[in-house]
Structure 1
Amino acid sequence: MTILRGGTRTLKSSPEQTMDASVGQPSSRPLWIMGIPLALYVVMLVGKGGDYSVLVDFVLAELAGLATVVVCWTAVRRADYVRREVTLAAAAVTCNFLGDVSFTISTRFLGGPGSPSVADLFYLAFYGLILASLFVTARRQLRRVPWAAFLNSAVGSVSVAAFMAVLLNPVLVSASAEPVSLETLVNLAYPMLDLLLIAAIAGVAALYGRHAGRAWVSLIGGLVVYAGADVAYALLDGGYSLGTLLDASWAIGLALIAVWVDRASYPVVAAPREPNGVMAFVVPAIATAAGLGILVYATQNHISALAIGLASVTLALAVIPMISRERGLNHLSRTDDLTGLPNRRAMYSDVAARLASDRKQGSALLLLDLDRFKEVNDSLGHDAGDRLLVQVGVRLARELGPLDLLARLGGDEFAILVARNRDGEASALADRLRAALAVPFTLEGISLQTSVSIGIALYPSHGRDLGALMRKADTAMYVAKSTGSGFHVYQSDDDRHSEVRLRTLQELREALVQDQLTLHYQPRIDLDTSEIHAAEARIRWNHPVRGLLHPSEFVDLVEDAGLVRALSEALLVQALDQAAAWRDRGLDLGVAIRLPQAALIDAGLPEHLGAMIANRALPPFVLTLEISEEFLLADQSRARAVLNRLRGQGVRMSIDDFGTGYSSLALLRDLAIDELRLDESFIVAMGHDERSSTLVNSAIALAHSLGLRMVAEGVDSDEAYEALVRFGCDSAQGSLLCVPLPATEFDAWLTARLVAEQTRE
């Protein structure tokens, strides 16, 4: 909030605002007051030649100086609150004006100023006041200046000071060679203060760089012109004479300082920024070159100890940002950008040393992989997935000891090196880690529960280097994932399973290309009419070596192979083409199919599926998608959105393996479901377990009460079939009726059944 005359208003600043940003537009009237007499003085000074003129060198010169004083104190009076840097700068300009008046009067009218003189007191006061003004400004900004920017400023300042010490070497050597007196000290003070002033200018320039505003450019330019005139004065061989063009340099420098004072009296809002990448390297590089150049020059020429000392300090300061950047780059190269944990590079770098020092105690390497993490990215977006990984890293770290090493290897994989492992400790830690991650996470307002599979390899029994341990832990982790055990300690037999898995992954990719994956169809019989209205499509793999493989032998590898989308597309094409072929033959048969769970969260599935059905001129209800209870329970809001969009395309929905999960009445009530598929485990038990019969009867009644159809799976006996008819079940499928058959054999079976029915009639 910025306070202004007449009220208050909020000042919003963008990152591009600079130090001269202010509320409203500063008035240009004070600058005209100063600019007109200054311009007149400079023009008259150039035109008059070398002779002294009272009108030009006294009247106009002091009038221009007085105008700068008026502008400065007008700015001080204008400010709504005391700004010490503005007041100090105004006082500095005033002291210089008084020094000029005193020097001119004593030189032209009183026979000489003497040494030291009253003018010297005013001039020296100017240096002190203007440096104090810069110090006050810097002190206010230092708390907002990044360390790198401050260091760049210091390096630039000292390097310029070293260069100026070399440039002013004759003056410094001459002054220091004279006997110590007040006059000598005053003569030595001027070059030293000029050196300090130029160093301060360099520091400000390095601090703000290209982000300095116009007001700061005015200040820097004014001080450079003023100090340059001082240096030229100090190096003049023929001595200084009043009324030359050198006098205009001081006048112009002071006018530029007055411009800064005028602009600085307005409220400012911006601060120095972190130096950009170029400045971060350019300033130390130039400073280092300057320092080295001065020291080399000192080996061939006599220069002051001050110049040598400043050059040495420059080199020392210039090394600091280089070391700091090197350490920063090394840290970044070993740190995971997302979680802040050590990355794979750090893991491989640190573990070798740890293992070498831990041969007797023994260690354990745990490799962790989040289960179904891809579903989070696909359904909630990668931002949500990233936040989940960060939270997972925090939870894992809480369970570890101070000597344990946790790293993120990439994706959803983490690794933990457990120091000083004893029997069973790694397994106990794996249990704790799984329990910690089982607590639901909250992402995008959704409570999400995840699980993790952990592979464990022991050092030194399973390997004596990280590479061997990683391979064994990776093998054990996939055993844990495939068996659903949660974690697994590596065993020698696991290698055989790992080889089979890798070979199967490659063969699965080839199977899709070579059309080895096909659908077998099992009829679904209407228990009321004994007619067949639909068939369930079940995937099979015609493996060229291993023969016909069932889904349990390869479907779990589909996601690992990155084939979910390709497999789903192939299954839908086959199923819908078969439904179209049946319809062309006059058979009104629907087809039910179960897609991989990850395919159901594909945002483009509903519309794509609707287009596939429409392209074959099929009614939408010809297709039924079977969905697991696990998918529904994982995220009900997401499941509801998916089901609603699919239903919007006319596709029917069925809950598969009903009764094996944890379905609730609210779930059945709220979701867009058409039918339930009762798991075969209940049907098989009906013949010898009265309670199973009761549960089946109750489930059928529940489905009907909710307006849903009930389909019974695994019907393999006449007793079960008759019981289902008696309970009012809608449809059934199983080996009693027909086993799953390839499309051609299913068609033959269907034809034979129709012929038999016609014969009976």
Structure 2
Amino acid sequence: MRKSGRDTHPVRPWLLWATFASVAVYTLGLLLNNGSVDQLVNVWLGELTQWLPALVFWLAVVRTGFARRDVLFIAVAVTFNAIADTYYVVAMDRAGELPFPSPADVGYLMFYPLMLMALVALVRRQVRGLAWSVVLDSAVGALGAAAILTSVLGPVLSVAGDETEVLATAVAVAYPVFDLLLAAAIAGIASAPGLDIGPRWTFLASGLAVFAAADVVFALMQTSGTYFAGLPLDASWALGLALMAVWADAISRPGRPTPLATRRSPALLVPAAAVAAGLGVLLVGTQVAQPVGAVILAALTVAVAAIPLVFRQRMLGRQARTDHLTGLPNRRALYADAQDRLVLNGIPARQRHSALLLLDLDRFKEVNDSLGHDVGDQLLVQVSTRIMGALPPDAVLARLGGDEFAILLDRAGEPEATTFAIALGAVLQPAFALNGLSVQTSASIGIALFPEQGRDLGDLLRRADMAMYRAKSTRAGHHVYTFEDDSDGEARLRTLQELRLALIQDQLVVHYQPKVSLLSGQTTGVEALVRWQHPARGLLLPCEFLDLVEESGLMPVLTRIVLTKALDQAVIWQAAGQHLTVAVNISASSLVNVDLPDEIARMVTERKLAASVLMLEITEEFLMIDRDRARAVLTRLRAAGVQISIDDFGTGYSSLSYLRDLPIDELKLDRSFVTPMADDSRAASLVASTIDLAHSLGLRMVAEGVENGFSYDELVRYGCDHAQGFFMCEAVPADDLDRWLAQRGVIAP
């Protein structure tokens, strides 16, 4: 338990500071003594620099519960090294020398295999998951480091080989060989940016590199007879251990490690340096004799580095034909392979019909905007998997981009293609599990037939695209191309162009339909409904252009225009003494904008209106796609004083838990429940029970589509709060509504 904000971590910061402080004082003492042996510096400070890192590592082992084998191996290695160093200090003679080999060499040598075992434990779980190119880069880095180190250690190895005593020779050779392996391992790991090794990995690598470099310098000085105890070189091993201790402290801290893949160094830096080192060894070898091992390792470095070049062309060709997200063939692959399927021996296989299906997910943009592109990517992967499972044996599936998939069915005419499209819709119907959320989606499928509707893939794709948009606009699920669709496609493009101009040229107008209180008969509010005053086609209803607005991503712009016009009209009504609530429909694609609540609050404030004057009508679909986002958005809107209404209630999802969890003021019962009440007693019972449900939750109920006196009277009898529909008044311009209100004379105060 943490108390008073103190850090209860076993490896406390002061221990690391003490480790580095001891190294600094030890180094200063060695420099001041100028090579002479001093008991305080060489014995007490020297041993302190060995044992403090060991203590850091063992505390890290305890902190990780002995679960990290890599930390445990390094702790044992550092401990062996400290024991060996202590024995060396105690057993050496007055001249600072010890017989070679000695028991100290056992401890020193144990450091290297244990350290190599730690590095293997560090990366072994991830090696299988790495791309082969990353593994090759690691091999190149390791071989290059081994080649250059073998070349540098050539004199040491040759002297060791001249020793007459077998044991002394083995021990003398073991040091440079272990250093070579350690350097190769460090270089290999550094060449693999995909390894998730943990925080402050560079401290471990730097510590090992310093340790190995000190060994190499020591070996060369021993060979030349220039080394003696008390040189500043002795501080190098202490510094290497201190750097490793920083990594031990970081890896044992609670929290998620920072992946090595996030480092910013170029991924090819180490392999490139290794190749340069290998070429350098080979080049120097033409002028100066090099150890045979160094030449072999240098040649292997260059050879392994060349392997990717041999397969690069094939790899690039495969990548160019593959969708990176789903692994499916992409548009390029489809174009390359489809013609071979459509043409047999150079002659169109007209006796063998084929069909091209173009599949586009419905409202995929809303998933991306509300849940994030990573969740959208997961959805695409799962969709591709389901489609693959439903494909006939000879079919080809490709992802063309975004949420569009193409399927080429061999030996399929219209009946077979239609049957498959229906089956595909059923396959995609079950919900998808995405990050703990249950998301449902559907698809619109356009079908074009070969050879009747196109002799090549380009024609088929173009016509399948027209059919797909026809399926999307009619919400039929699928549609087989007809030649009439050509004119529909052209009309759609023309309408989209005109729609963009309409948004700029203020061709959109707002009509208002009153909401009448069934208790008092007073008009309490209005619903703002957009219309398009087309310069050539006249007044267009929302059903004629809203789908196109949504598909083209223009809905946020249209929503802002309607809000502006509706609030401006509310100001006019307020000035005239007509206190009416104005309801505006907000689509899911607009609500994903995190700035929308603040923008709406600002628009209301600028007009000096009470926030409760505005009511936003949203659909159940938005509430169910992302409950957390819906709660956050609606809570901010309610906090600003804006009222919330659920439009078309009862036509969407079956779950009603959101009525309890979300800040909602009223429900609008869809007209599909209200209209059949006169002829269907079950519909009437359903309306009555829904009204009771709303009231039990403290919500108002508004009935839409009230078109006759019977429905009006029944709703009054059931206790419904408000109604709107043609029986009272259709949606009309503000001036016409003013006249209607004046005639009734029943405006709520």
Per the normalisation by structure 2, the TM-score is 0.67
The answer for the alignment partner of 2:506 in structure 1 is: 515
CA pair 311-101 structure 1, distance change in 2 beyond 3 A = farther
Between the aligned partners of 2:205 and 2:150, the Cα distance in structure 1 is 27
Please tell me whether the aligned partners of residues 155 and 287 of structure 1 are also in contact (alpha carbons under 8 angstroms). Answer: yes
Deviation of the 1:99 alpha carbon: 13
2:306 matched residue in structure 1 = 319
Question: 2:553 is matched with which residue: 554, 562, 580?
Answer: 562
Distance 2:311 2:534 in 1: 59
Find the partner of 1:354 among 329, 337, 342.
Answer: 337
Alpha-carbon distance in 1 for matches of 2:607, 2:247: 72
Q: Superposed, which structure 2 residues align to 1:520-559 within 5 Å?
A: 520-522=511-513, 535-559=526-550
Structure 2: any 5+ residue segments left out of the alignment?
A: 1-7, 59-71, 128-133, 191-201, 252-258, 345-351
Partner of 1:422: 412
Q: SS in structure 2 opposite 1:450?
A: coil
C-alpha deviation, 1:485, in angstroms: 1.5
- Residues 651-708 of structure 1, C-alpha deviation per residue, up to 9 Å, x if partnerless? 566665567668899888998454645628955x78xxx5258855984696489655
For 1:426 and 1:511, locate their aligned partners in 2 and report how far apart those are by CA, in whole Å.
39
Aligned equivalent of 1:139, options 117, 129, 133? 117
Asked if the contact 1:68–1:254 (Cα under 8 Å) also holds between the matched residues in 2, the reply is no
Aligned counterparts, 1:333-482, within 5 A: 340-342=325-327, 347-359=330-342, 360=344, 366-380=357-371, 385=376, 388-389=379-380, 391-400=382-391, 411=402, 413-418=403-408, 420=410, 422-423=412-413, 426-442=417-433, 447-457=438-448, 468-482=459-473
Pair 1:552–1:71, CA change in 2 (3 A): closer
Aligned-residue offset at 1:517: 0.7
Query: Separation in 1 of the partners of 2:627 and 2:237?
Result: 69
Deviation of residue 507 (structure 1)? 1.6
1:500 aligns to what SS in structure 2?
Answer: helix
With 301-310 and 557-566 compared, the bigger mean Cα shift is at: 301-310
| In structure 1, distance between residues paired with 2:576 and 2:144 | 88
Judge conservation of contact 2:147–2:281 (CA < 8 Å) in 1.
no
Separation of aligned partners in 1, 2:714 and 2:214 = 104
What code does the residue aligned with 1:160 have? Answer: I
Taking the aligned partners of 2:47 and 2:714, their CA distance within structure 1 comes to: 109
CA contact (8 A) 1:163 1:290 kept: no
* Other-structure match for 1:506: 497
Q: Does 1:496 align with 2:477?
A: no
Q: CA deviation at 1:403?
A: 7.3
Counterpart contact for 2:331–2:399, Cα < 8 Å: no
Q: Could you tell me whether the CA contact under 8 Å between 2:616 and 2:643 is conserved in 1?
A: yes
1:167-200 residue CA offsets vs partner (Å, 9 max, x unmatched): 769x97x999xxxx99799999999889756644
SS at match of 1:341: coil
Q: 1:278 to 1:461 in 2, by over 3 A?
A: farther
Say which of 559, 564, 572 aligns to 1:573.
Answer: 564
Compared with structure 1, are the counterparts of its residues 31 and 330 closer, same or farther at alpha carbon in structure 2 (3 Å cutoff)?
farther
> Does residue 679 of structure 2 align to residue 691 of structure 1?
yes
Contact 2:705/2:724 (CA < 8 Å) preserved in 1? yes
- Counterpart of 1:223 in structure 2 is 215
8 Å Cα contact 1:22-1:269 kept in structure 2: no
| Pairwise CA distance, 1:386 | 5.3
Structure 1 position 552, deviation (Å): 1.1
Q: 1:706 to 1:163 in 2, by over 3 A?
A: closer
In the alignment, structure 1 residue 679 sits paired with structure 2 residue 671: yes
What does residue range 39-118 of structure 1 map to in structure 2 within 5 Å?
Answer: 42=35, 83=76, 87=80
1:282 maps to 269
Cα distance in 2 for partners of 1:618, 1:266 equals: 61
**Shift, 1:555, TM fit:** 0.9
Instruction: Name the counterpart of 2:148.
Output: 160
Q: TM-score with structure 1 length normalisation?
A: 0.67
The whole-number CA distance in structure 1 between the counterparts of 2:28 and 2:221 is: 20
Among residues 293, 309, 329, which one is paired with 2:296 in the alignment? 309
Q: Aligned partners of 1:701, 1:277: CA distance in 2, in Å?
A: 63
Partner of 1:211: 203
- Please identify the structure whose Cα radius of gyration is greater: 1
Q: For 1:653 and 1:31, how far apart are their aligned partners in 2?
A: 67
What whole-Å deviation, never above 9, does each CA across 1:259-282 have from its counterpart, x for those lacking one?
Answer: 879999999678996796647533
Distance 1:131-1:517 versus aligned 2 partners, 3 A rule: same
* 214 and 594 in structure 1: CA distance in 2 versus 1, 3 angstrom threshold: closer
Distance 1:134 1:478 in 2: 67
Q: Percent identity?
A: 35
Give the alignment's Cα RMSD to 1 decimal. 6.1
- Superposition deviation, residue 287 in structure 1: 3.3
SS of the equivalent of 1:369 reads strand
Count of aligned positions: 678
